[in-house]
Structure 1
């Protein structure tokens, strides 16, 4: 067991914690990792910094929504399988419900107030990611070897944009760790025993593969729209690394190119998805609700939402039983120290682009981001207060300027 975690929690505790995160975590998957770290590692101390970084590194390797996979694993770690489901439901449903309402025409995002609100929330993301980089760098890059790996990861991630650069950074960081991080003082390996047996892990990997390769065949034979819908969103969730905006081209190909959804409807939902908290994968709920052929509406939203998250969770459950044994070996520890340093570099690269470049458009934006960073790091205010304050500031700027 992680030496910084002495007790387990309840399903209710996990649900309440992730419901708070699901209501306040704006800014995309990288920012979500910052919110998770602040709430669960720093404030609640469910597990240590190193264990959290290892979960992040593992989930970056796997296809699927990285931040949601981290949340699922944290719920599993804290309160078992029901805790994992509670974490997923609480973090996912707030934004999914809002996007389904938007699909029914109940929500409209237009005008200077809405644009200002969205911009204020993007500034929140700058402050949150900067706080995560600052805190994780102090713990995970304490010597020149790991600092060099982190800097190298920044360069690679900026040169090779997207999830490919992130995966390459972690792979090269792990290889560099084998050379540079095998001696000297180091963080002891943490023991994270998830309640998943090797047999269950192998079963999950088998189910993942059977669904990935079997669903297209079954859908073509059955000629059922519900099965086609599940297959399309399962495939999108299974083939994307890192989650977030990377999934959008796959979803466009599955829904717009197939004629299920018009381009205008797709882009309208995408705009709404950026203005709500929680994982961007909940965009699938909107798409499932507006597809032209039944099942659509609430049923279509539920099918699409489950299908897009399922493959990432099956892969995570399949790998977790074997992760602890592999990580506990000296060479694996050295590789993980390098990979953890690379995770810091990836966060720093994301802070530069796209978080900073798409948000800080002038001196006023910079001032608000610095105020948010100071509120989080120096004053240690709860993130929801910073979210609300900067959102209001964004609305005021949108109205005045």
Structure 2
């Protein structure tokens, strides 16, 4: 294996293992951020070329000849076994043992293991009481514009995300959005009528490709983006030092983007298009018309596996917009350009990736796709993308800097 192979292997292992942490994108985002943050610190403890995340690399004083492979595998393994179910630990132990077998015994191996152990311990200590799975009190409104779940007993299982201690940004409310449009405004009516028409289950204006795109993107961002960056790391021939920094930056940005997003969601507590369209006779806007029977494309009646539904949390801002905005703007900063050829793969359509030539094009499609799916107003998607961009810009300005 060359230097980056073990990095990519353990990123793929982490992606697979963190999917089981929580049946939504949010526990997964925190979990893989912890793994990749620790991996970055372990690699950087050897290279010392960039600002560390949690480690004091001078005090640790790892031999620069230490094994990167041993450091990566140890950091990833030790963080993961603290998070996964007991049944998965033997699988991870076997993978870890297999990686270490490829590293010759001696001081470089021992030093790499030491770097990984220190990075994992620092990460686990830092996240020990970070708000993961903390209780959350919902507020259900009854007035026009107020969010209330489609099914009162099916509530957001991950509302805790908005109170999660950020990895890198200063606070969960640091990038508060401008909020949803006033119900009486023309821009609200424009958003309303767009999603009512093109996001309907029975839309006659949504194209076949738009329908496929909407469904394609309804898949955990952790899986979408980490696979893409594994492919891109190889295409761009990144070395292990740059690769570890890329995976840390995009995954920590993704988690912080989600945290900022969920804080914003429950601050505004704005209704979803399905409630808005069915109850438009109460919104006071003469340019909107109610349809009590309206259903979005993301309705259980649609022929998709698994079934699609309106998510059980507020509309504004879009979670996918926040996380994808954070990831793709971080990638632009890392590579120093927007133009980049890449494919994105979704488990919704195995073997049918969507191809892009710019990071911004992928984000634009994510924004559109949430409208095409009938689950977001366009303003929620755009402002979600902006929260992601602000998160990425702040992280770029304050973290992962070269050591002078």
Instruction: Assess same fold via TM > 0.5.
Output: no
TM-score class, shorter-chain normalisation, is under 0.3
Relative contact order, CA 8 A, sep 6+: which one is greater? Answer: 1
Which one has the bigger helix percentage?
1
Bigger CA radius of gyration: 2
Provide the TM-score with structure 1 as the length reference. Answer: 0.25
Provide the TM-score with structure 2 as the length reference. Answer: 0.24
